[in-house]
Structure 1
Amino acid sequence: MRIALFVTCLNDTMFPDTGKAVVRLLRRLGHEVEFPAAQTCCGQMHFNTGYRKQVTPMVRSFAETFAPYDAVVTPSASCAAMVRDWHPRIDSGAAPVASNVYELAEFLVDVLGVTDVGAYYPHRVTYHPTCHSLRMLKIGDRPLQLLRAVRGLELVELPDATECCGFGGTFALKNSEVSAAMGADKVACVRATGAEALCAADNSCLMHIGGILTRTGPDVRTVHLAEILASTEEDPHE
Protein backbone atom coordinates (compact mmCIF):
# COMPACT_ATOMS: atom_id res chain seq x y z
CA MET A 1 0.00 0.00 0.00
CA ARG A 2 1.37 3.40 -0.99
CA ILE A 3 0.53 5.81 1.82
CA ALA A 4 0.87 9.58 1.56
CA LEU A 5 0.96 12.02 4.43
CA PHE A 6 -1.29 15.05 3.99
CA VAL A 7 0.20 17.16 6.75
CA THR A 8 -2.13 20.22 6.37
CA CYS A 9 -1.17 23.90 6.43
CA LEU A 10 -1.54 24.42 10.18
CA ASN A 11 0.57 21.41 11.10
CA ASP A 12 3.22 22.16 8.51
CA THR A 13 3.53 25.75 9.73
CA MET A 14 3.02 25.48 13.47
CA PHE A 15 3.00 21.83 14.57
CA PRO A 16 5.42 19.92 12.31
CA ASP A 17 6.16 17.38 15.05
CA THR A 18 2.63 16.03 14.61
CA GLY A 19 3.30 15.20 10.97
CA LYS A 20 6.60 13.59 11.91
CA ALA A 21 4.78 11.52 14.53
CA VAL A 22 2.39 10.14 11.91
CA VAL A 23 5.29 9.06 9.71
CA ARG A 24 7.17 7.55 12.65
CA LEU A 25 4.09 5.64 13.81
CA LEU A 26 3.13 4.20 10.41
CA ARG A 27 6.72 3.20 9.67
CA ARG A 28 6.91 1.45 13.04
CA LEU A 29 3.84 -0.51 11.98
CA GLY A 30 5.68 -1.64 8.86
CA HIS A 31 4.37 0.78 6.24
CA GLU A 32 6.19 3.15 3.93
CA VAL A 33 4.94 6.71 3.97
CA GLU A 34 5.70 9.37 1.38
CA PHE A 35 5.35 13.13 1.62
CA PRO A 36 4.28 14.62 -1.72
CA ALA A 37 6.06 17.97 -1.82
CA ALA A 38 3.50 19.44 -4.23
CA GLN A 39 0.72 19.36 -1.62
CA THR A 40 -0.84 22.65 -0.59
CA CYS A 41 -3.96 23.76 1.28
CA CYS A 42 -7.18 21.72 1.02
CA GLY A 43 -9.07 25.00 0.57
CA GLN A 44 -11.13 24.86 3.73
CA MET A 45 -10.29 28.39 4.90
CA HIS A 46 -11.17 29.88 1.52
CA PHE A 47 -14.32 27.80 1.17
CA ASN A 48 -15.63 28.68 4.63
CA THR A 49 -15.13 32.39 4.07
CA GLY A 50 -16.98 32.50 0.75
CA TYR A 51 -14.17 32.21 -1.82
CA ARG A 52 -15.73 29.15 -3.37
CA LYS A 53 -14.75 29.84 -6.97
CA GLN A 54 -11.12 30.18 -5.96
CA VAL A 55 -11.21 26.79 -4.23
CA THR A 56 -11.71 24.78 -7.43
CA PRO A 57 -8.04 24.94 -8.57
CA MET A 58 -6.97 23.89 -5.08
CA VAL A 59 -9.30 20.89 -5.17
CA ARG A 60 -7.95 19.83 -8.55
CA SER A 61 -4.37 20.28 -7.41
CA PHE A 62 -5.06 18.12 -4.34
CA ALA A 63 -6.55 15.36 -6.48
CA GLU A 64 -3.64 15.45 -8.92
CA THR A 65 -1.02 15.42 -6.15
CA PHE A 66 -2.49 12.50 -4.22
CA ALA A 67 -3.86 10.43 -7.13
CA PRO A 68 -0.89 7.99 -7.21
CA TYR A 69 -1.48 6.80 -3.66
CA ASP A 70 -3.62 4.01 -2.26
CA ALA A 71 -4.36 5.95 0.92
CA VAL A 72 -3.87 9.50 2.14
CA VAL A 73 -3.54 9.90 5.92
CA THR A 74 -3.86 13.19 7.75
CA PRO A 75 -3.57 14.21 11.42
CA SER A 76 -6.53 16.57 11.01
CA ALA A 77 -10.16 15.54 11.19
CA SER A 78 -11.09 19.04 10.04
CA CYS A 79 -9.14 18.89 6.79
CA ALA A 80 -10.09 15.27 6.17
CA ALA A 81 -13.75 16.27 6.45
CA MET A 82 -13.25 19.13 3.98
CA VAL A 83 -11.69 16.81 1.42
CA ARG A 84 -14.09 13.91 1.81
CA ASP A 85 -17.29 15.92 2.12
CA TRP A 86 -16.75 18.96 -0.07
CA HIS A 87 -14.12 18.21 -2.70
CA PRO A 88 -16.39 15.86 -4.70
CA ARG A 89 -19.17 18.48 -4.61
CA ILE A 90 -16.83 21.19 -5.85
CA ASP A 91 -15.36 19.02 -8.62
CA SER A 92 -16.73 15.54 -9.28
CA GLY A 93 -13.35 14.50 -10.68
CA ALA A 94 -11.91 14.76 -7.19
CA ALA A 95 -14.16 12.00 -5.82
CA PRO A 96 -11.84 8.97 -6.29
CA VAL A 97 -8.97 10.62 -4.41
CA ALA A 98 -11.25 12.13 -1.76
CA SER A 99 -12.61 8.69 -0.89
CA ASN A 100 -9.08 7.52 -0.07
CA VAL A 101 -8.41 10.26 2.49
CA TYR A 102 -8.46 9.16 6.13
CA GLU A 103 -8.02 10.80 9.49
CA LEU A 104 -5.30 8.93 11.38
CA ALA A 105 -7.50 7.10 13.91
CA GLU A 106 -9.96 5.79 11.35
CA PHE A 107 -7.08 4.68 9.11
CA LEU A 108 -5.49 2.71 11.93
CA VAL A 109 -8.71 1.09 13.14
CA ASP A 110 -10.73 0.68 9.94
CA VAL A 111 -8.06 0.17 7.27
CA LEU A 112 -5.13 -1.39 9.12
CA GLY A 113 -7.33 -3.11 11.71
CA VAL A 114 -5.17 -2.24 14.70
CA THR A 115 -5.91 -0.62 18.03
CA ASP A 116 -2.72 -1.50 19.93
CA VAL A 117 0.08 0.30 18.10
CA GLY A 118 2.74 -0.44 20.70
CA ALA A 119 2.62 3.01 22.28
CA TYR A 120 3.73 3.99 25.77
CA TYR A 121 2.61 7.23 27.43
CA PRO A 122 2.53 7.08 31.26
CA HIS A 123 0.25 10.03 31.93
CA ARG A 124 -3.33 10.84 32.91
CA VAL A 125 -5.06 11.90 29.68
CA THR A 126 -8.47 13.17 28.67
CA TYR A 127 -9.78 13.27 25.10
CA HIS A 128 -11.68 16.07 23.34
CA PRO A 129 -13.65 14.89 20.25
CA THR A 130 -13.37 17.83 17.88
CA CYS A 131 -16.47 18.95 15.99
CA HIS A 132 -15.37 17.76 12.56
CA SER A 133 -14.28 14.37 13.87
CA LEU A 134 -17.52 13.99 15.78
CA ARG A 135 -20.10 15.43 13.42
CA MET A 136 -18.69 15.14 9.89
CA LEU A 137 -16.30 12.20 9.90
CA LYS A 138 -18.23 10.40 12.66
CA ILE A 139 -15.08 8.64 13.86
CA GLY A 140 -16.83 7.75 17.11
CA ASP A 141 -14.75 5.93 19.68
CA ARG A 142 -11.87 4.98 17.40
CA PRO A 143 -9.45 7.41 19.11
CA LEU A 144 -10.58 6.10 22.49
CA GLN A 145 -9.94 2.52 21.39
CA LEU A 146 -6.41 3.50 20.46
CA LEU A 147 -5.81 5.45 23.67
CA ARG A 148 -7.10 2.62 25.87
CA ALA A 149 -4.47 0.32 24.37
CA VAL A 150 -1.56 2.67 25.17
CA ARG A 151 0.58 1.25 27.96
CA GLY A 152 0.86 3.43 31.04
CA LEU A 153 -1.90 5.80 29.94
CA GLU A 154 -4.77 6.53 32.31
CA LEU A 155 -7.75 7.70 30.23
CA VAL A 156 -10.30 9.85 32.05
CA GLU A 157 -13.65 10.95 30.65
CA LEU A 158 -14.07 14.59 29.72
CA PRO A 159 -17.33 16.17 31.00
CA ASP A 160 -19.50 17.64 28.24
CA ALA A 161 -17.01 16.24 25.77
CA THR A 162 -19.23 16.77 22.73
CA GLU A 163 -19.51 20.53 23.27
CA CYS A 164 -17.54 22.70 20.83
CA CYS A 165 -14.39 24.33 22.19
CA GLY A 166 -15.25 27.60 20.43
CA PHE A 167 -12.46 27.75 17.87
CA GLY A 168 -14.14 27.14 14.52
CA GLY A 169 -11.48 28.89 12.43
CA THR A 170 -12.65 32.39 11.58
CA PHE A 171 -15.50 31.99 14.09
CA ALA A 172 -12.95 32.71 16.83
CA LEU A 173 -12.10 36.01 15.14
CA LYS A 174 -15.57 37.13 14.10
CA ASN A 175 -17.21 36.10 17.38
CA SER A 176 -14.32 36.43 19.78
CA GLU A 177 -16.34 36.91 22.98
CA VAL A 178 -18.53 33.89 22.33
CA SER A 179 -15.49 31.87 21.29
CA ALA A 180 -13.61 32.81 24.46
CA ALA A 181 -16.61 31.90 26.64
CA MET A 182 -16.94 28.50 24.96
CA GLY A 183 -13.23 27.95 25.39
CA ALA A 184 -13.43 28.82 29.08
CA ASP A 185 -16.22 26.28 29.55
CA LYS A 186 -14.14 23.62 27.82
CA VAL A 187 -11.08 24.43 29.93
CA ALA A 188 -13.14 24.14 33.13
CA CYS A 189 -14.19 20.65 32.04
CA VAL A 190 -10.60 19.72 31.22
CA ARG A 191 -9.34 20.88 34.60
CA ALA A 192 -12.14 18.97 36.37
CA THR A 193 -10.68 15.68 35.10
CA GLY A 194 -7.34 16.22 36.84
CA ALA A 195 -5.65 15.20 33.60
CA GLU A 196 -2.03 16.01 32.88
CA ALA A 197 -2.69 16.18 29.15
CA LEU A 198 -5.54 16.96 26.79
CA CYS A 199 -5.59 14.96 23.56
CA ALA A 200 -7.49 15.61 20.32
CA ALA A 201 -7.35 14.84 16.60
CA ASP A 202 -7.00 18.50 15.54
CA ASN A 203 -4.21 20.87 16.50
CA SER A 204 -6.44 23.84 15.68
CA CYS A 205 -8.71 23.02 18.61
CA LEU A 206 -5.76 22.12 20.82
CA MET A 207 -4.20 25.49 20.00
CA HIS A 208 -7.36 27.31 21.07
CA ILE A 209 -7.88 25.33 24.27
CA GLY A 210 -4.16 25.28 25.03
CA GLY A 211 -3.93 29.05 24.84
CA ILE A 212 -6.62 29.41 27.49
CA LEU A 213 -5.06 26.69 29.65
CA THR A 214 -1.71 28.46 29.55
CA ARG A 215 -3.18 31.80 30.54
CA THR A 216 -5.46 30.62 33.32
CA GLY A 217 -3.44 28.54 35.70
CA PRO A 218 -1.37 25.44 36.29
CA ASP A 219 -0.47 23.92 32.99
CA VAL A 220 -2.37 21.05 31.44
CA ARG A 221 -0.43 20.30 28.30
CA THR A 222 -2.06 19.63 24.96
CA VAL A 223 -0.88 16.74 22.82
CA HIS A 224 -2.09 15.47 19.46
CA LEU A 225 -3.30 11.88 19.23
CA ALA A 226 -0.53 11.09 16.73
CA GLU A 227 2.16 12.12 19.19
CA ILE A 228 0.80 9.86 21.92
CA LEU A 229 0.52 6.92 19.55
CA ALA A 230 4.05 7.48 18.24
CA SER A 231 5.49 7.58 21.76
CA THR A 232 7.38 4.53 23.00
CA GLU A 233 9.56 3.70 26.01
CA GLU A 234 12.62 3.95 23.76
CA ASP A 235 11.46 7.18 22.12
CA PRO A 236 9.01 8.87 24.54
CA HIS A 237 6.98 11.97 23.86
CA GLU A 238 7.18 14.19 26.92
Structure 2
Amino acid sequence: MDLAAARAALQAASRVAVLTGAGVSAESGIPTFRDAQTGHWARFRPEDLASPPAYRRDPEMVWEWYAGRYRDVLAAQPNGAHDLLARLEAQKGPGFFLATQNVDGLHHRAGSGTHGGQVVELHGNLLSGRDEVTGQTFPLAAPAELVTPPTSPLGNRMRPNVVWFGEYLPEAALEAAQDAFAAAEVALVIGTSGAVYPAAGLAAETLRRGGIAIEINPTDTEISHQMTYAIRDVASRGLASLLQPA
Protein backbone atom coordinates (compact mmCIF):
# COMPACT_ATOMS: atom_id res chain seq x y z
CA MET A 1 0.00 0.00 0.00
CA ASP A 2 1.26 3.45 -0.92
CA LEU A 3 0.56 5.33 2.31
CA ALA A 4 1.96 8.58 0.94
CA ALA A 5 -0.44 8.43 -2.00
CA ALA A 6 -3.37 7.76 0.32
CA ARG A 7 -2.40 10.70 2.51
CA ALA A 8 -2.05 12.99 -0.48
CA ALA A 9 -5.42 11.96 -1.90
CA LEU A 10 -7.18 12.58 1.41
CA GLN A 11 -5.51 15.95 1.94
CA ALA A 12 -6.41 17.09 -1.57
CA ALA A 13 -10.03 15.98 -1.38
CA SER A 14 -12.70 18.56 -0.70
CA ARG A 15 -15.45 15.93 -0.37
CA VAL A 16 -14.80 13.05 2.05
CA ALA A 17 -17.31 10.41 3.12
CA VAL A 18 -16.62 8.11 6.08
CA LEU A 19 -18.25 4.86 7.20
CA THR A 20 -17.46 3.63 10.71
CA GLY A 21 -18.27 0.35 12.42
CA ALA A 22 -17.77 -1.42 15.72
CA GLY A 23 -13.98 -1.36 15.42
CA VAL A 24 -13.97 2.39 16.01
CA SER A 25 -15.74 2.07 19.36
CA ALA A 26 -13.86 -1.06 20.45
CA GLU A 27 -10.99 1.11 21.69
CA SER A 28 -13.45 2.84 24.02
CA GLY A 29 -14.26 -0.53 25.58
CA ILE A 30 -17.64 -0.91 23.92
CA PRO A 31 -18.23 -4.54 22.91
CA THR A 32 -20.03 -5.56 19.76
CA PHE A 33 -23.64 -6.69 20.14
CA ARG A 34 -22.67 -10.35 20.34
CA ASP A 35 -19.66 -9.73 22.57
CA ALA A 36 -21.98 -7.95 25.01
CA GLN A 37 -24.02 -11.12 25.42
CA THR A 38 -22.30 -12.37 28.57
CA GLY A 39 -23.59 -13.78 31.81
CA HIS A 40 -27.38 -13.93 31.94
CA TRP A 41 -27.66 -12.74 28.34
CA ALA A 42 -25.41 -15.43 26.87
CA ARG A 43 -28.30 -17.88 26.66
CA PHE A 44 -30.29 -15.67 24.30
CA ARG A 45 -30.06 -15.53 20.53
CA PRO A 46 -29.50 -12.00 19.16
CA GLU A 47 -32.96 -12.00 17.61
CA ASP A 48 -34.42 -12.77 21.06
CA LEU A 49 -33.20 -9.36 22.21
CA ALA A 50 -33.30 -7.20 19.10
CA SER A 51 -36.26 -7.88 16.86
CA PRO A 52 -39.86 -6.65 16.61
CA PRO A 53 -41.29 -10.10 17.55
CA ALA A 54 -39.08 -10.22 20.66
CA TYR A 55 -40.24 -6.77 21.70
CA ARG A 56 -43.90 -7.59 21.18
CA ARG A 57 -43.44 -10.77 23.20
CA ASP A 58 -41.52 -9.27 26.13
CA PRO A 59 -40.82 -5.52 26.04
CA GLU A 60 -39.65 -5.54 29.67
CA MET A 61 -36.90 -8.08 28.95
CA VAL A 62 -35.77 -6.27 25.80
CA TRP A 63 -35.60 -2.97 27.67
CA GLU A 64 -33.62 -4.62 30.48
CA TRP A 65 -31.01 -5.62 27.90
CA TYR A 66 -30.88 -2.19 26.28
CA ALA A 67 -30.81 -0.36 29.63
CA GLY A 68 -27.62 -2.25 30.45
CA ARG A 69 -26.05 -1.33 27.13
CA TYR A 70 -27.16 2.28 27.63
CA ARG A 71 -25.37 2.41 31.00
CA ASP A 72 -22.22 0.94 29.45
CA VAL A 73 -22.22 3.44 26.61
CA LEU A 74 -22.61 6.42 28.92
CA ALA A 75 -19.66 5.20 30.99
CA ALA A 76 -17.43 5.01 27.89
CA GLN A 77 -15.45 7.91 26.45
CA PRO A 78 -14.57 8.83 22.85
CA ASN A 79 -11.15 7.56 21.82
CA GLY A 80 -8.46 8.85 19.49
CA ALA A 81 -10.30 7.69 16.37
CA HIS A 82 -13.42 9.68 17.28
CA ASP A 83 -11.30 12.74 18.02
CA LEU A 84 -9.35 12.47 14.76
CA LEU A 85 -12.53 12.18 12.70
CA ALA A 86 -13.90 15.32 14.37
CA ARG A 87 -10.61 17.04 13.50
CA LEU A 88 -10.89 15.86 9.89
CA GLU A 89 -14.39 17.32 9.72
CA ALA A 90 -13.02 20.63 10.98
CA GLN A 91 -10.56 20.58 8.06
CA LYS A 92 -13.09 19.65 5.37
CA GLY A 93 -16.13 21.55 6.65
CA PRO A 94 -19.33 21.05 4.61
CA GLY A 95 -17.51 18.57 2.35
CA PHE A 96 -17.31 16.05 5.21
CA PHE A 97 -19.90 13.32 5.77
CA LEU A 98 -19.85 10.58 8.40
CA ALA A 99 -22.16 7.57 8.42
CA THR A 100 -21.82 5.28 11.41
CA GLN A 101 -23.16 1.81 12.10
CA ASN A 102 -22.51 2.38 15.80
CA VAL A 103 -25.32 3.25 18.20
CA ASP A 104 -23.23 4.67 21.05
CA GLY A 105 -23.28 8.39 20.22
CA LEU A 106 -19.51 8.70 20.69
CA HIS A 107 -18.96 10.50 17.39
CA HIS A 108 -21.27 13.29 18.53
CA ARG A 109 -19.65 13.41 21.97
CA ALA A 110 -16.25 13.84 20.28
CA GLY A 111 -17.55 16.84 18.33
CA SER A 112 -18.48 15.33 14.98
CA GLY A 113 -21.31 17.21 13.35
CA THR A 114 -20.29 20.54 14.89
CA HIS A 115 -17.74 21.70 12.29
CA GLY A 116 -19.96 22.08 9.23
CA GLY A 117 -20.10 18.43 8.21
CA GLN A 118 -22.92 15.94 8.59
CA VAL A 119 -23.28 12.82 10.74
CA VAL A 120 -25.94 10.13 10.28
CA GLU A 121 -26.50 7.12 12.52
CA LEU A 122 -27.56 4.29 10.24
CA HIS A 123 -28.55 1.94 13.07
CA GLY A 124 -30.00 4.46 15.53
CA ASN A 125 -28.80 5.56 18.96
CA LEU A 126 -28.89 3.86 22.36
CA LEU A 127 -29.19 7.19 24.16
CA SER A 128 -32.71 7.84 22.92
CA GLY A 129 -36.07 6.14 22.73
CA ARG A 130 -38.69 6.25 19.99
CA ASP A 131 -42.34 7.01 20.70
CA GLU A 132 -44.28 3.96 19.53
CA VAL A 133 -47.22 6.08 18.36
CA THR A 134 -45.67 9.15 16.76
CA GLY A 135 -42.19 7.85 15.86
CA GLN A 136 -40.55 10.89 17.50
CA THR A 137 -37.32 10.33 19.39
CA PHE A 138 -36.50 11.64 22.86
CA PRO A 139 -33.42 11.39 25.10
CA LEU A 140 -33.59 8.70 27.75
CA ALA A 141 -33.52 9.64 31.40
CA ALA A 142 -30.26 9.22 33.30
CA PRO A 143 -29.61 5.55 34.12
CA ALA A 144 -30.42 6.00 37.81
CA GLU A 145 -33.78 7.54 36.91
CA LEU A 146 -34.67 5.37 33.92
CA VAL A 147 -37.89 3.41 34.29
CA THR A 148 -38.39 0.73 31.65
CA PRO A 149 -40.22 0.57 29.40
CA PRO A 150 -39.89 4.37 29.30
CA THR A 151 -42.68 6.77 28.41
CA SER A 152 -42.28 9.67 25.99
CA PRO A 153 -43.20 13.26 26.95
CA LEU A 154 -46.36 12.62 24.92
CA GLY A 155 -47.41 9.84 27.27
CA ASN A 156 -46.75 6.91 24.95
CA ARG A 157 -44.46 3.93 25.52
CA MET A 158 -41.08 4.19 23.83
CA ARG A 159 -39.06 1.44 22.18
CA PRO A 160 -35.25 1.50 21.85
CA ASN A 161 -34.25 3.85 19.05
CA VAL A 162 -32.18 1.27 17.19
CA VAL A 163 -32.58 -0.78 14.03
CA TRP A 164 -33.49 -4.37 14.87
CA PHE A 165 -33.12 -7.61 12.95
CA GLY A 166 -35.74 -7.64 10.23
CA GLU A 167 -36.02 -3.85 10.01
CA TYR A 168 -34.85 -1.47 7.29
CA LEU A 169 -32.32 1.28 7.85
CA PRO A 170 -33.84 4.77 8.25
CA GLU A 171 -34.63 5.85 4.71
CA ALA A 172 -33.48 9.45 5.04
CA ALA A 173 -30.16 8.47 6.67
CA LEU A 174 -29.43 5.83 4.04
CA GLU A 175 -30.27 8.14 1.15
CA ALA A 176 -28.06 10.88 2.59
CA ALA A 177 -25.20 8.39 2.93
CA GLN A 178 -25.62 7.07 -0.61
CA ASP A 179 -25.65 10.60 -2.03
CA ALA A 180 -22.59 11.63 0.00
CA PHE A 181 -20.53 8.60 -0.99
CA ALA A 182 -21.52 9.01 -4.62
CA ALA A 183 -20.27 12.61 -4.54
CA ALA A 184 -17.12 11.93 -2.49
CA GLU A 185 -13.63 12.08 -3.91
CA VAL A 186 -12.38 9.90 -1.05
CA ALA A 187 -14.27 7.28 0.97
CA LEU A 188 -12.89 6.09 4.31
CA VAL A 189 -14.15 2.76 5.65
CA ILE A 190 -13.04 2.27 9.24
CA GLY A 191 -13.53 -0.59 11.67
CA THR A 192 -16.29 -2.41 9.84
CA SER A 193 -16.37 -5.98 8.55
CA GLY A 194 -18.04 -5.02 5.29
CA ALA A 195 -20.52 -7.84 5.75
CA VAL A 196 -23.74 -5.89 6.37
CA TYR A 197 -25.48 -4.31 3.39
CA PRO A 198 -26.49 -1.76 2.27
CA ALA A 199 -23.83 0.04 4.36
CA ALA A 200 -21.09 -2.24 3.04
CA GLY A 201 -21.86 -1.04 -0.48
CA LEU A 202 -21.36 2.67 0.19
CA ALA A 203 -17.67 2.85 -0.76
CA ALA A 204 -18.51 1.19 -4.06
CA GLU A 205 -20.56 4.29 -4.89
CA THR A 206 -17.42 6.41 -4.56
CA LEU A 207 -15.32 4.01 -6.62
CA ARG A 208 -17.97 3.77 -9.33
CA ARG A 209 -17.72 7.51 -9.91
CA GLY A 210 -13.94 7.63 -10.08
CA GLY A 211 -13.10 8.32 -6.45
CA ILE A 212 -10.79 6.32 -4.21
CA ALA A 213 -11.56 4.20 -1.14
CA ILE A 214 -9.29 3.75 1.88
CA GLU A 215 -9.92 1.01 4.43
CA ILE A 216 -8.61 1.03 8.00
CA ASN A 217 -9.02 -2.31 9.74
CA PRO A 218 -6.67 -4.73 11.53
CA THR A 219 -7.58 -7.61 9.19
CA ASP A 220 -8.93 -8.17 5.70
CA THR A 221 -12.69 -7.74 5.34
CA GLU A 222 -15.29 -8.81 2.84
CA ILE A 223 -14.81 -5.59 0.86
CA SER A 224 -11.01 -5.28 1.12
CA HIS A 225 -10.58 -6.41 -2.47
CA GLN A 226 -12.48 -3.31 -3.64
CA MET A 227 -10.33 -0.80 -1.78
CA THR A 228 -7.79 1.48 -3.41
CA TYR A 229 -5.64 1.51 -0.26
CA ALA A 230 -5.77 -0.44 3.00
CA ILE A 231 -4.18 0.33 6.36
CA ARG A 232 -3.95 -2.74 8.57
CA ASP A 233 -4.21 -1.30 12.05
CA VAL A 234 -6.76 -0.37 14.71
CA ALA A 235 -8.81 2.72 14.01
CA SER A 236 -6.96 5.27 16.14
CA ARG A 237 -3.45 4.35 14.96
CA GLY A 238 -4.53 3.88 11.36
CA LEU A 239 -6.18 7.29 11.26
CA ALA A 240 -3.23 8.95 12.99
CA SER A 241 -0.94 7.51 10.33
CA LEU A 242 -3.24 8.52 7.48
CA LEU A 243 -3.71 12.09 8.71
CA GLN A 244 -0.01 12.88 8.92
CA PRO A 245 1.21 15.34 6.30
CA ALA A 246 1.87 13.72 2.92
Fold-level match, TM-score > 0.5?
no
Normalising by the smaller structure, the TM-score range is 0.3 to 0.5
Q: What TM-score, normalized by structure 2, do the two folds share? A: 0.36
Which of the pair is proportionally richer in strand?
2
Q: Which has the higher contact order (CA 8 A, sep 6+)?
A: 2
Would you tell me which structure has more helix in proportion to its own residues? Answer: 1
TM-score of the superposition, structure 1-length normalised? Answer: 0.37
